[in-house]
Amino acid sequence: MERIYVCDIKDSKDTQILVRGWVHKIHELSTISFVHLRDKTGIIQLVMDKKHSKQLRLEMSIEAIGEKVMNEKAPGGIELDAKELTILGEVFYDKLPFEINGFKLNACLEKQLDYRALALRRPKTRAVFKVQEEITDAFRTYLKSRRFSEIHTPKVISSSTEGGSEMFTVDYFGRRAFLAQSPQFYKQMMVGAGFERVFEIAPAYRAELHNTWRHLNEYISLDIEMGFIKDETELMDLEEGFLNYLYSVLRKTCKSEFEMYNIELPEKIEIPRIPLAEAHKILLDKYNKKSPVGNIDAEGEVLISKYVKETYNCDFVFLTEYPVAKRPMYAMPDSEKPGLTKSFDLIFKGLEITTGGQRIHNYEMLKENIKKFGLNPDDFAFYLETFKYGMPPHGGLAIGLERLTLKILDLENVREATLLPRDLRRLEP
Amino acid sequence: MERIYVCDIKDSKDTQILVRGWVHKIHELSTISFVHLRDKTGIIQLVMDKKHSKQLRLEMSIEAIGEKVMNEKAPGGIELDAKELTILGEVFYDKLPFEINGFKLNACLEKQLDYRALALRRPKTRAVFKVQEEITDAFRTYLKSRRFSEIHTPKVISSSTEGGSEMFTVDYFGRRAFLAQSPQFYKQMMVGAGFERVFEIAPAYRAELHNTWRHLNEYISLDIEMGFIKDETELMDLEEGFLNYLYSVLRKTCKSEFEMYNIELPEKIEIPRIPLAEAHKILLDKYNKKSPVGNIDAEGEVLISKYVKETYNCDFVFLTEYPVAKRPMYAMPDSEKPGLTKSFDLIFKGLEITTGGQRIHNYEMLKENIKKFGLNPDDFAFYLETFKYGMPPHGGLAIGLERLTLKILDLENVREATLLPRDLRRLEP
């Protein structure tokens, strides 16, 4: 007899069915018991003789065979009159660390993370990762339909992309290596290698000493690099197009997840593009908020999002024209606006989720810029090598997957959008 | 005017077209020149005035606008009468390190890897990664259709899965951490966390001191873990099903790539399952080959594949029933066959590409087994924690992506199936 998933029971023609899952709730009456079985896809009520349910404890994994019965009072309108019951996985606890089956999970986030495998059994907690999976799928589908190739580049690298700070070091057979902050150099190389348009979904590492709601030391970066572009506006168009596509997908695939989190997605996203200097002016005029030179701080991100929401009814805003001094050495200077680069950030509900821009593609210009930044071109030999052979104009961007998930679901902490977060303190589980 | 990709020119209704790409070949006659332009999708001949072609050098990136002309003598039967020509990316070399446009790439693998971005411009070299991308897509599609969830687990971990040898160490804010050899513990945890069936496509690390054609120190692992299984045969069925699906996909999507490599895929794969002890006996009887106790060496892998090819006309063979002593502490012992485990390897054309098996799911049994292996259960506290709450019977497997690609295309070195390989010596590019 084949196992049937809970979500498929309603439409199944079989009357005798076999289900598997975990014991979610036990409610014993005088002779019979109602037991809720939870599988990956949902929860069904099993009705059984009390002598069967006596051996059950919460969170055991079980198999049950029985007759499908329509019952308006049961959750989902269906229950199973269970005749056979098998315990598949025993439990070994005195008391569960927290309740899985309550309306709220009565444990702080740290405790949930300590018992991550157990906390994720709660459907609402696990739902975050259904949404996250749809995000990566939509990212991949959207880009592949535009002839992007998915690539895999090494995460153990010999040199730093951005100057060496805030990187984890690895002992590589006695040599000092690093964990990649981003696939920046490699994705550019792969554009030059003839793939033209590439993307990568892979871990990235930041040895930052921040321990906040929005920082992770290991996260998943959705990276894009695109050759033969006109300028950075093509990249913003691409990201805006992706976000619109993503929302259209999520509306279809994550209905029940959005219901759990009480989220409604807008029909159409049109993202304002505001030069950084103008954003500074808005922040000062409207909120009396001073910004750091050539940048925007966390408070500024929140305020500019508030402004854009009120003015344009949009949750997103592109900040553009960052100054040369605040961008990496590979950022393309804007020849018409001295001191500025053809770069941008994307702020989503007060949180930066993307940095992007056009890159320098001319070998001599890049070498000169590396020097201007006080770096040694010899340290970037393999990177520079690519630029000797007809590197086309190109640019790209990166989206932090956990941050995007966090903001779509209005979560409070980026760790909620990570199966097993790594932060300053946490290396386990 | 919108850019058109070379592969779309034939079916395009436009007569005036714009193409972009790299200068693949230049052939100058008295007044006109034939220039081959290569983009991501193919090569087209441009016919231009010699005064235009004079400024061109091999591997520059260019844009050309002109009229589409049918010409039987041109490659693909079409050429472009180029009227406008723009150089998009300059070149900075005296002599190319090797030819891109020859029939063979006249550079050894090491040199190709040193100039990886350039070597990949050769369509045949890049074709490997088109096949590789189809493999990961097929893996994902096949598993998702069977209700597997894609997960992302951390690669920086606090303890080792297999006992601590052969792992790279990371300085994690002053603490000693490791790069994960596999997501073994985490994928099991996620089965227990209610995802039931999970897969991951992510880097894995082995600090092995081997420097051979088949070893990489960083590789992409296609990992599967599946809950509520009967036994390990379900896992072999799953992998066999995947491989059949994969081949059906590749036959459709990679026709031209397989032509380049002269590969024909069999219509149907039925994989023999041979207990290890029986394989040992075959090797001894048929090839006078002795095997190491409880295992099979590289020569044995080649010979047993030869035997299976001759006997069953199959490129694959599952070796089963590995002894307890040669498998990790989490391998499920076979209660009916003392000393053996419910595990398997998959050998493909003489190379191991998969290790898999059923795992122990009972908390007490797992704890005892950890002790039997001379390890301390306290070191596995977070892993063991998962097993206290109704862990169902489960198992899984992992496929080395580069090895699978290598063998499908009959390549000689696993580095050919890696964009940017990491080995004992190579940390760059």
- Chain A contact present for B155, CB below 8 A: yes
pLDDT at res. A161? 61
pLDDT at res. A102? 87
Percent of chain B with pLDDT strictly greater than 90: 94
Residue A21 per-residue DSSP state = E
- Complex confidence, ipTM: 0.97
Task: For tokens 């003015």, name the residue.
Answer: A311
Closest CB to B429: pick one of A152, A169, A382. Answer: A382
For the cut 60, the answer to whether the pLDDT of residue B349 exceeds it is yes
pLDDT at res. B102? 87
For the cut 90, the answer to whether the pLDDT of residue B103 exceeds it is no
Beta bridge partners of B38: B22, B43
Task: For tokens 């190379």, name the residue.
Answer: B351
Per residue in A84-98, pLDDT tens? Answer: 999 999 999 999 999
Task: For tokens 């444990």, name the residue.
Answer: A107
Task: For tokens 């070796």, name the residue.
Answer: B319
Residue A58 is labelled as binding a ligand: no
pLDDT at res. A163? 56
For the cut 80, the answer to whether the pLDDT of residue A101 exceeds it is yes
Per residue in A188-229, pLDDT tens? Answer: 999 999 999 999 999 999 999 988 999 999 999 999 999 999
- Domain locations in chain A as residue ranges: 6-89, 123-417
Whole-angstrom CA distances from B412 to B216, B253, B303 are 14, 23, 18
Instruction: Check A193 against B157: CB less than 8 A apart.
Output: no
Per residue in B42-81, pLDDT tens? Answer: 999 999 999 999 999 999 999 999 999 999 988 889 999 9
- Chain B contact present for A361, CB below 8 A: yes
Instruction: Check A390 against B61: CB less than 8 A apart.
Output: yes
Confidence of residue B163 (pLDDT cuts 50, 70, 90): low
pLDDT at res. B75? 85
Residue A303 is labelled as binding a ligand: no
Residue B332 per-residue DSSP state = P
Per residue in A364-381, pLDDT tens? Answer: 999 999 999 999 999 899
pLDDT at res. A25? 97
How big is the CA angle at B162 (ends A59 and B355), to the nearest 5 degrees?
Answer: 85
Confidence of residue B348 (pLDDT cuts 50, 70, 90): very high
Whole-number Å distance between alpha carbons of A172 and B424: 8
Residue B400 is labelled as binding a ligand: yes
For the cut 90, the answer to whether the pLDDT of residue B278 exceeds it is yes
Per residue in B174-199, pLDDT tens? Answer: 999 999 999 999 999 999 999 999 99
A-chain CB neighbours of B234 within 8 Å are: none
For the cut 90, the answer to whether the pLDDT of residue B173 exceeds it is yes
**Better-predicted residue by pLDDT, B162 or A234:** A234
Confidence of residue B164 (pLDDT cuts 50, 70, 90): low
Whole-angstrom CA distances from B429 to A161, A196, A380, B144, B169 are 12, 19, 10, 34, 21
CATH code of A6-89, in short, is 2.40.50.140
For the cut 60, the answer to whether the pLDDT of residue A182 exceeds it is yes
- The CA distance from A40 to the nearest CA of chain B, in Å, is 6
pLDDT at res. B162? 59
Q: What is the mean pLDDT of chain B?
A: 95
Interface of B with A in 159-218 (CB under 8 A): 159, 168-173, 175, 177, 179, 186, 189-190, 192-197, 202-203, 205, 207, 209, 217-218
Rounded to an integer, the average pLDDT of B131-145 is 98
- Same topology for domains B6-89 and B123-417, yes or no? no
Rounded to an integer, the average pLDDT of A251-277 is 97
State which CATH number among 3.30.300.180, 1.10.8.870, 3.30.930.10, 3.40.250.10 fits the domain covering B123-417.
3.30.930.10
Percent of chain B with pLDDT strictly greater than 70: 99
Per residue in A333-359, pLDDT tens? Answer: 999 999 999 999 999 999 999 999 999
For the cut 70, the answer to whether the pLDDT of residue A162 exceeds it is no
Per residue in A26-50, pLDDT tens? Answer: 999 999 999 999 999 999 999 999 9
Sign of the CA dihedral running B177, B183, B189, B194: positive
